[in-house]
Amino acid sequence: MSLVLATTTPGEPEIFASLQGEGPSQGKPCAFVRLSRCNLACSWCDTAYTWRFEGDNRPHRDGIAYERKANQVTLSEEDTAARILALGQPRLVVTGGEPLLQAPALARMLALLPAVAVEIETNGTVAPPPALDTLVHQYNVSPKLAHSGNPTALALIPERLKAWAAEPRAALKFVVAEPADVEEVLVLADRYAIPRERIWLMAEGTDAMTLAAREKWLAQLCLEHSLTLSKRLHIELYGDTRGT
């Protein structure tokens, strides 16, 4: 059985070691594996090469259609696990795309890594099956707000938001581009009883200057509403590049 991964260069799977750039584990050394495919289409997505292939007309601000063959690679579960172990990191971040679209194969791969603490980055629309859920230490859930361009019915599924709110392993990380986005977060927090100590707000941006400008006003809103600010440390350190 196999997993479909994103690539750093054609044929080279995006499996790498770096510091976690976002959320509760920010700054921690981790191994990363980036899976391909997504069920949503955020207009500002910085990993559109995982889903916006030639023939996919879902809107994106860059308007680039990526060649599937150059940007996807299939690896066996065993090969994927071996490459992750070779990085020698105590923590693994599974990202995408939307990793939970490949949950059965992902669960089998993670079972080969019993000593590694596992984080899964997810858009929050897909329920993790029990076989996978038992192997996960932390969920970094990033529900997509209206400014993402996704239909609300697809991006903000009530039963999933309720489930994540009740899941103590889940940190809910919202991408924010303007102050009005924070008001949307507060409405969702009240509607679905999301504990504010598990809400992270992160500025949208793919360059350090944009992030710094937005973090100036976002920091104050986090202070006012008892929410946590998340940096995008990897952008500040390495820029908007693959494999970082």
Beta bridge partners of 193: none
CA distance 128 to 47: 22
Per-residue pLDDT tens digits for 161-195: 999 999 999 999 999 999 999 999 999 999 999 99
Domain ranges of the chain: 2-175
DSSP sequence for 24-62: GGTT-EEEEEEB---S---TT-TTGGGT-BTT-----TT
pLDDT at residue 135, rounded to an integer: 98
pLDDT at residue 229, rounded to an integer: 98
Which CATH number describes the domain made up of 2-175?
3.20.20.70
pLDDT at residue 73, rounded to an integer: 98
pLDDT at residue 27, rounded to an integer: 98
Encoding tokens for residue 80?
């994927």
CA distances to 76, 123, 135, 141, 181 from 104, rounded to whole Å, are: 13, 18, 12, 19, 34
* Distance from the Cα of residue 143 to its chain's centroid: 10
pLDDT at residue 203, rounded to an integer: 98
User: Is pTM beyond 0.95 here?
Assistant: yes
Per-residue pLDDT tens digits for 124-136: 999 999 999 999 9
Phi and psi, residue 64, nearest 5°: -90, 135
pLDDT at residue 140, rounded to an integer: 98
pLDDT at residue 89, rounded to an integer: 98
**pLDDT < 50 stretches in the chain:** none
pLDDT at residue 119, rounded to an integer: 98
